[in-house]
A and B are shown apart, each in its own frame.
Chain A
């Protein structure tokens, strides 16, 4: 396994009067892509939100690049390079595409103009629409803006919560291609996906969560994963 970048140990988290995660352990290595699979309500999104600081853990430790980040506010975790693309995409609907992208680079800095030019080369569709208000775009285009904005923050690790959720099939393919390209660039990722084919096509490893606990761990590189078998272990 590559050097560990993110290590979660015994993470318990949830909302008032409702605990969701019960002692979740997992780690992500540098340039590694880990998929979190599980049925609805199994705690996948809560796990990502706990890493990114939107949900405060009740117990356990989350270390990123050797430093404890559990319980830190989201903006401090972001500054360390842990960047989430949430399920709701969380864009600024009344701003243009470019303004959204620029806000992504705002805190972490860097050569904004160069970053933006690079991003427009990879996402020509965003370059075409850079002056368009985000709320006037389709779901797939908005997802591209959300991923693009996260990349503007120069992530060390990208947390993707259902990037293909609710998108038309053509967009699902396009998003899958984007994620595959990102993998080649060496960004570590944790990805939650209902589309198991997409998840398996990019992941190095996957975990199955059930009722807030990790029930299975698989190393995809060790052997081909059986999609039907995975679906069975998720839902049955």
Chain B
């Protein structure tokens, strides 16, 4: 292999060093395995909530960060995933584990539907407002389609189970969620490091040029929305299992802002950033509980400080530590 070919297959660092570095990532979920032994039910619930928001951030980040489109329908995919799991469990009596994939598929379908304005060439603020409207439209559906969704009061989701084993405690849910999160991270990492990731980067950098280089931009935009919707839909399914109650209020604009904060604080276009953002944004309000009355203020200050001093998010801190944290196909 020539130097150039080597360079093409791996832009930074040696292949073996990078592989060893990447294998360190495998240690993280293994190290997390004993976590439920040390936490009470409430703290374990917060950790589980973090796990729910990891795929939610990952899916959102693909469209907004990697593809660079201002599309804000993420909360719609989240809601669709949660409602799909809830409806299948409640109405059809399916166990939770059997509703996870359908929730992802429904999220992907919703993602494909939400990509229509983008495929028609709508961009920037126009795309932002149209995709926001999509999320709000779905909320209207949740509220009005009472026989299926339970309307404004929502629906109680039956206790989750995996292959006949009921997830009785938060600790049980943790293992099921950890498995799904690791799976989503691995699959998305593969996608973003492949030619798809390179195509997303090209489209983000200059869509016209990408098309001029023979890249079928429409296909990649659809794929990014669909995959984003799939991953977020899985997050929605986890949410339904965790909270046990799905209501339209959980998928409103405030929720969307929270999800947006996850990717901004974590780092746009960064897979590691989506994870970090989910950790910080979900756990911060719990820390601020000690300062009653100042929770929202402290939460706001945290977001402002991170974005002010780390415009590329918390992921940029890690990227400075080691090149392993640098996303292969992402540029500012």
The reply on B23 being an interface residue by CB < 8 A is: no
**Interface membership of chain B positions 1-20, coded 1 if the CB is closer than 8 angstroms to chain A and 0 otherwise:** 11011011000000000000
The reply on A106 being an interface residue by CB < 8 A is: yes
Q: Is the CB of A75 within 8 A of B215?
A: yes
| A38-46, A59-67, A78-86, A173-181: which lies at the interface | A78-86
Q: Is the CB of B212 within 8 A of A113?
A: no
CB neighbors of B among A9-43 (8 A) = none
A73 / chain B contacts, CB cutoff of 8 Å:
211, 216, 218
* Complex partner residue of B201 from A75, A86, A95, A153, CB under 8 angstroms: A95
Bound CA–CA A144/B8 (angstroms): 20
Bound CA–CA A94/B269 (angstroms): 14
CB distance from B200 to the nearest CB of A (A): 12
CB distance from B60 to the nearest CB of A (A): 21
CB distance from B185 to the nearest CB of A (A): 25
User: Range of interface residues on chain A?
Assistant: 20 to 34
CB neighbors of A among B51-85 (8 A) = none
| B88-96, B116-124, B202-210: which lies at the interface | B202-210
CB distance from B240 to the nearest CB of A (A): 39
B214 / chain A contacts, CB cutoff of 8 Å:
74-75, 78-79, 106-108, 153
CB neighbors of B among A66-114 (8 A) = 73-75, 78-79, 83-84, 86, 88, 90-95, 98, 102-104, 106-108, 112-113
Question: Given A113-B5, A116-B4, A94 and B331 touching (CB < 8 A)?
Answer: yes
The reply on A213 being an interface residue by CB < 8 A is: no
Question: Given A95-B201, A98-B7, A102-B8, A78 and B209 touching (CB < 8 A)?
Answer: no
Chain A residue with the shortest CB-CB distance to B6: A113
CB distance from B194 to the nearest CB of A (A): 12
Q: Is the CB of B213 within 8 A of A103?
A: yes
Q: Is the CB of B198 within 8 A of A86?
A: no
Q: Is the CB of B4 within 8 A of A103?
A: no
Chain B residue with the shortest CB-CB distance to A92: B205
Q: Is the CB of A106 within 8 A of B332?
A: no
Question: Given A73-B216, A113-B2, A103 and B206 touching (CB < 8 A)?
Answer: no
Q: Is the CB of A91 within 8 A of B8?
A: no
The reply on B289 being an interface residue by CB < 8 A is: no
Question: Given A75-B214, A75-B217, A94-B331, A113 and B209 touching (CB < 8 A)?
Answer: no
Q: Is the CB of B198 within 8 A of A90?
A: no
Chain A residue with the shortest CB-CB distance to B1: A113
The reply on A50 being an interface residue by CB < 8 A is: no
Chain A residue with the shortest CB-CB distance to B219: A75
Q: Is the CB of A74 within 8 A of B211?
A: yes
Sampled A-B contacts (28; CB under 8 Å) = A54-B211, A54-B212, A74-B211, A74-B212, A74-B214, A75-B214, A78-B214, A90-B212, A91-B209, A94-B205, A94-B332, A95-B201, A95-B202, A95-B331, A102-B8, A103-B202, A103-B210, A106-B198, A106-B213, A106-B214, A107-B213, A112-B5, A112-B8, A113-B1, A113-B8, A116-B4, A117-B2, A153-B214
A-B residue pairs, 5 tightest by C-beta: A107-B214, A78-B214, A90-B209, A113-B5, A92-B205
